[in-house]
Chain A
Amino acid sequence: MITINLNKVDVKVEEGSTILETCKFYSIPIPTLCYHEGLSPGGACRLCIVEVGTPENFKVASSCTYPVREGLVVRTHTKRIIEIRKMLIELLVALCPSSKTIQDLASEYAVTHVRFKPKNKDCVLCGLCVRMCAEQMDAKAIGFVGRGINREITTAFDVKSDVCRTCGACMYICPTCQMRCQGPEPSGVLCNSCLNISYPCVDVHNQVMCYMDPCGACLLKESEEKKKVVSSK
């Protein structure tokens, strides 16, 4: 076991693990898109970036690929890191607005406007399917082709692969294959429905016995009442 300084707290970690694994162990929420526990880290989506080093001399690195070492100083939620993550999420939403995973990320990080023209792509090139196919299915049927803006995921020479068993693992793991939830159709590319949701209280007419304690609706009501009291004073 070695000690690292995680958000100003010294914590013990297993040697050989990554910063992201440490954060997950200590329940520090780090957004990820191209990470999966069963696969090797990709470092492609950059959402899991953290600051490594002292506040005076640090670098930004993806936590999923960064191995811990004794005395490492890590900050996961500085103002700048959150700003960068928000910009990356904005890029992701504009790239692929139909993905529920990405819309959820946008709501979680309070990304409320997208200033880029929507591309409406189906793939964000996170590479999960490529790694899934190679590492778990041992097939290597798909891979990256081209570079830069022409990068895409396909089979070799764009023809039906001999080694593909049509197992569907690539579809299972894809973060964009899952469609947006069937709520009201948003006017723009951003859904943000989860942000504006008001908790429906089933107990309003005293007709049912609410077993939730506390429920979001009650908390909301309480805080609103508190606000009213403060403002009336």
Chain B
Amino acid sequence: MNKIKNIDELGKIKTEIIKNLSPETPCIIISCGTCGQARGALKIVEAFRDAIKKLETIQELPIQLRITGCHGFCEVEPNIIIEPEGIFYVKLKPEDAEIIIKETIINKKIIDRLLYVDPVTGKKIAYKKDIPFYKYQNQLISGNNSLIDPTKIDDYIAIDGYKGLAKVLTDMSPEDVISEGKKSGLRGRGGAGFPTGLKWEICRASKGETKYVICNADEGDPGAYMDRSLLEGNPHSIIEGIIIGAYAIGAKEGIVYARNEYPLAVKNVGIAIEKAREYGFLGKNIFGTDFSFDIKIVKGAGAFVCGEETALIASIEGKRGEPQQRPPFPAQKGLWGKPTNINNVETWANVPVIINKGADLYSKIGIGRSKGTKIFSLVGKINNTGLVEVPMGIPLREIVYDIGGGIPKGKKFKAVQTGGPSGGCIPAELLDLPVDYDKLTEVGSIMGSGGMIVMDENTCMVDIAKYFLNFLRDESCGKCLSCREGLDRMYEILNDITEGHGTMEQLNLLEELAPVVKEASMCGLGQTASNPVLSTLRYFRDEYEAHIKSKKCPAGVCKALIEYSIDPEKCTGCTACVKACPQEAIIGEKKKPHKINQNECIKCGACKDICKFDAIKVE
């Protein structure tokens, strides 16, 4: 492969690639991100390959297979899309492959049993574009995942990949790029929401010959994986973004800092970097200009705190991943003491879109001071688990009910936790809140990197706060006294409350301590670590008080405060619970109401899960 020298050559290559694609040929797109692979997507790929080989002996089959990254709808993995019709099959098994080829591709019939069933209406939906989960989204960034095989650079070039880079290098000065970035209103997608264009400008203005750009791919929030999905599914968009950013800042070297726990992401980015070098998008004199730039991958050991800019830099330098006091900011004195610009994966993926679409068009998406789209990972007690990309400012209700399909088993919505472990819980009263940076901050939460954990009525808010604090006290670097000791003491108090020996004095102490941790700690982790406690105290104080005053857990979660019992009216004596109980704590004769021996009961809930008559009460 000869290196591409200018924008015309890129255009020629693109037309050649498109000529070889025949849009009429059926194409089976298999979602093979880490989430799909965990559900057996690789076996499905094998099955399709075998089926095609087998059937090819009978008749000619012009079928394409495209193995892509995650399509976002993780609830129904492994799923496939059959182009050109856009038929969407869910929860496949390897044995379905042959049937699909015979029925759907050769006989053009839709197989009813493999279709997606809408949990709200109960209807079956055949086409991807009609599924509410996709219909209400605006997949500006993540939508390309289903169009490209991440290991093939040609697929990316076919959808106008690297066109933005060519435009930037041939027609625009670095200042133009920065002003375009500022005009677009793009803000950092990693957590703090700092305006990206301004960040670039500060770094460009910093004195120094050597400058660095870093892609922060150290995604560590429990239940959040949008960065992983982008790295796995569309690594070239990130690389293109980084090159454009490097040109704007004047950097010659870039680093992708990814966690080692993302092996597929690291692999795909590695392949993408190799390919980009081969085509001349990385290396010396890109597109025949004076601009030279290259990227390398640094693997982190997976510490949550290393997502913080200064800790990330320390980690790359081979030091302990500990944050440093700012100023000096990384833009002034970053990696190896040189000006450094760090942006999150999703931010970088937005850059080519802005250049291609133009800042004016881009800034029309979104609301107020939050522009563009944001990918959220919608998880927890929700029907449609997955990655959703929505324009900023969309009401929370639309995400939870229209896209997410509501709460399973018809339970009541209680709260949604946004922004990862250091975000806050937003209660049902605020469901109509537009989701943007400023509104989320107002209600005591944060945008964070985009985690969204939905909780139903059976979730205890004290227990949730305790869970996140436990995560944070483990993941704090431990340098600041306020964060290390403060979080441990907060956890201690919450533990006392959930165990039933909390006092009102302790609750007051918790309210006094939480803001101190927030204010006195050095880095972003400590400064947001009390959010789970502060927001649950703000909206669910009654639950805390119920734990302390009446020693009851209203949601029936905290084991020390609940008791399982059998309703003699409802119990039919079927003995199902007797068999399920690991403690043999349930006694009673057949066809007569049973009883639970409280001394033996370990409150595991096995009896409640198995009872068909709803006879097990939790109080």
Interface presence of A124 (CB below 8 A): yes
Q: B325 touching A147 by the CB < 8 A rule? A: no
- Select the stretch in B451-459, B519-527, B541-549 that faces chain A: B519-527
Interface presence of B411 (CB below 8 A): no
CA distance A151 to B479 in the complex (A): 8
Interface presence of A66 (CB below 8 A): yes
Interface presence of B110 (CB below 8 A): no
Question: Which of B325, B327, B476 has its CB near the most chain A CB atoms (within 10 A)?
Answer: B325
CA distance A181 to B605 in the complex (A): 55
Interface presence of B516 (CB below 8 A): yes
Q: A60 touching B320 by the CB < 8 A rule? A: no
Question: Which of A60, A83, A92, A117 has its CB near the most chain B CB atoms (within 10 A)?
Answer: A60
**Which among B487, B505, B521 is the interface contact of A115 at CB below 8 angstroms?**
B505
**Which among B472, B481, B487 is the interface contact of A124 at CB below 8 angstroms?**
B481
Q: Mark A38-82, 1 if CB is under 8 A from B, else 0.
A: 000011111001000000000011100111010000000000100
**Which among B327, B474, B489 is the interface contact of A148 at CB below 8 angstroms?**
B474
Q: Given the complex, which residues of B lie within 8 Å of A149, measured CB to CB?
A: 473-474, 476, 478, 484, 488
Interface presence of B361 (CB below 8 A): no
Q: Given the complex, which residues of B lie within 8 Å of A65, measured CB to CB?
A: 324-325
Q: B305 touching A147 by the CB < 8 A rule? A: yes
Q: Given the complex, which residues of B lie within 8 Å of A49, measured CB to CB?
A: 519-520
Q: B520 touching A84 by the CB < 8 A rule? A: yes
Interface presence of B492 (CB below 8 A): yes
CB distance from B291 to the nearest CB of A (A): 34
Q: B474 touching A88 by the CB < 8 A rule? A: no
Interface presence of B480 (CB below 8 A): yes
Interface presence of B513 (CB below 8 A): yes
Q: Given the complex, which residues of A lie within 8 Å of B520, measured CB to CB?
A: 46, 49, 60, 84, 88
CA distance A124 to B513 in the complex (A): 18
Least CB separation from A34: chain B residue: B481
Interface presence of A186 (CB below 8 A): no
CB distance from A63 to the nearest CB of B (A): 10
Least CB separation from A85: chain B residue: B520
Interface presence of A183 (CB below 8 A): no
CA distance A83 to B513 in the complex (A): 10
Q: A60 touching B519 by the CB < 8 A rule? A: yes
Least CB separation from A151: chain B residue: B478
CB distance from A140 to the nearest CB of B (A): 13
Q: A148 touching B516 by the CB < 8 A rule? A: no
Q: A46 touching B325 by the CB < 8 A rule? A: no
CB distance from A165 to the nearest CB of B (A): 24
Interface residues on A, range: 35 or more
Q: B305 touching A44 by the CB < 8 A rule? A: no
Question: Which of A60, A87, A94 has its CB near the most chain B CB atoms (within 10 A)?
Answer: A87
**Which among A61, A66, A83, A151 is the interface contact of B484 at CB below 8 angstroms?**
A151
Q: A43 touching B477 by the CB < 8 A rule? A: no
Interface presence of A168 (CB below 8 A): no
Interface presence of B482 (CB below 8 A): yes
Given A88-B482, A115-B505, A147-B475, A43–B522 Cβ distance below 8 Å? yes
Q: Is the interface of B mostly helix, strand, loop or mixed?
A: helix
Q: A148 touching B478 by the CB < 8 A rule? A: yes
CB distance from B344 to the nearest CB of A (A): 22
CA distance A60 to B516 in the complex (A): 11
Q: B481 touching A84 by the CB < 8 A rule? A: no
Q: Given the complex, which residues of A lie within 8 Å of B488, measured CB to CB?
A: 149
Q: Given the complex, which residues of B lie within 8 Å of A127, measured CB to CB?
A: 479
CA distance A116 to B505 in the complex (A): 11
Residues of chain A from 127 to 159 with CB closer than 8 A to chain B in the complex: 127, 144, 146-151
CB distance from B275 to the nearest CB of A (A): 37
Interface presence of B42 (CB below 8 A): no
Given A91-B485, A125-B484, A149-B473, A44–B492 Cβ distance below 8 Å? no
Interface presence of B509 (CB below 8 A): yes
CA distance A92 to B516 in the complex (A): 14
Q: B320 touching A148 by the CB < 8 A rule? A: no
Interface presence of B78 (CB below 8 A): no
Q: Mark B504-519, 1 if CB is under 8 A from A, else 0.
A: 0110010011001001
CB distance from B250 to the nearest CB of A (A): 24
Question: Which of B324, B482, B486 has its CB near the most chain A CB atoms (within 10 A)?
Answer: B482
CA distance A49 to B480 in the complex (A): 12
**Which among A62, A117, A147 is the interface contact of B477 at CB below 8 angstroms?**
A147
CB distance from A228 to the nearest CB of B (A): 38
Given A46-B520, A115-B505, A144-B320, A91–B486 Cβ distance below 8 Å? yes
Interface presence of B615 (CB below 8 A): no
Q: A125 touching B522 by the CB < 8 A rule? A: no
Residues of chain A from 79 to 131 with CB closer than 8 A to chain B in the complex: 80, 83-84, 87-88, 91-92, 94-95, 115-117, 124-125, 127
CA distance A80 to B480 in the complex (A): 19
CB distance from B482 to the nearest CB of A (A): 5
Q: Given the complex, which residues of B lie within 8 Å of A150, measured CB to CB?
A: 474, 478
Given A144-B320, A147-B475, A149-B473, A91–B305 Cβ distance below 8 Å? no
CA distance A115 to B505 in the complex (A): 9
Residues of chain B from 306 to 342 with CB closer than 8 A to chain A in the complex: 320-321, 324-325, 327-328
Q: A148 touching B476 by the CB < 8 A rule? A: yes
Question: Which of A67, A124, A147 has its CB near the most chain B CB atoms (within 10 A)?
Answer: A147
Q: A43 touching B516 by the CB < 8 A rule? A: no
CA distance A125 to B492 in the complex (A): 20
CA distance A124 to B320 in the complex (A): 19
Q: Given the complex, which residues of B lie within 8 Å of A45, measured CB to CB?
A: 481
**Which among B325, B484, B487, B516 is the interface contact of A84 at CB below 8 angstroms?**
B516
Q: Given the complex, which residues of B lie within 8 Å of A91, measured CB to CB?
A: 481-482, 485-486, 489
Interface presence of B303 (CB below 8 A): yes
Q: B521 touching A46 by the CB < 8 A rule? A: yes
CA distance A65 to B477 in the complex (A): 18
CB distance from A114 to the nearest CB of B (A): 11
Q: B478 touching A125 by the CB < 8 A rule? A: yes
Q: Given the complex, which residues of A lie within 8 Å of B505, measured CB to CB?
A: 115
CA distance A144 to B509 in the complex (A): 30
CB distance from B548 to the nearest CB of A (A): 15
Q: B513 touching A147 by the CB < 8 A rule? A: no
CA distance A83 to B511 in the complex (A): 13
Least CB separation from B488: chain A residue: A149
CA distance A49 to B328 in the complex (A): 17
CA distance A65 to B479 in the complex (A): 14
Q: Given the complex, which residues of B lie within 8 Å of A115, measured CB to CB?
A: 505-506, 509
CA distance A84 to B530 in the complex (A): 15
CB distance from A156 to the nearest CB of B (A): 13
CA distance A151 to B509 in the complex (A): 25
Q: Given the complex, which residues of A lie within 8 Å of B522, measured CB to CB?
A: 43, 46, 61-62
Q: A95 touching B485 by the CB < 8 A rule? A: yes
CB distance from B438 to the nearest CB of A (A): 16
CB distance from B364 to the nearest CB of A (A): 31
30 contacts between A and B (CB under 8 A): A42-B479, A43-B325, A43-B480, A44-B480, A45-B481, A46-B481, A61-B522, A62-B325, A65-B325, A66-B327, A67-B327, A84-B520, A87-B512, A87-B513, A87-B516, A88-B481, A88-B516, A88-B520, A91-B489, A92-B481, A92-B485, A116-B492, A117-B492, A125-B478, A144-B320, A147-B305, A147-B474, A147-B476, A148-B487, A151-B479
> Could you list 14 further interchain pairs (A-B, Cβ under 8 angstroms) beyond the known A144-B478, A148-B472?
A61-B522, A62-B325, A66-B327, A80-B519, A87-B513, A88-B481, A95-B485, A147-B474, A148-B473, A148-B476, A148-B478, A148-B484, A149-B478, A150-B478
The 5 closest A-B pairs by CB, nearest first: A151-B478, A65-B325, A148-B476, A87-B516, A91-B485
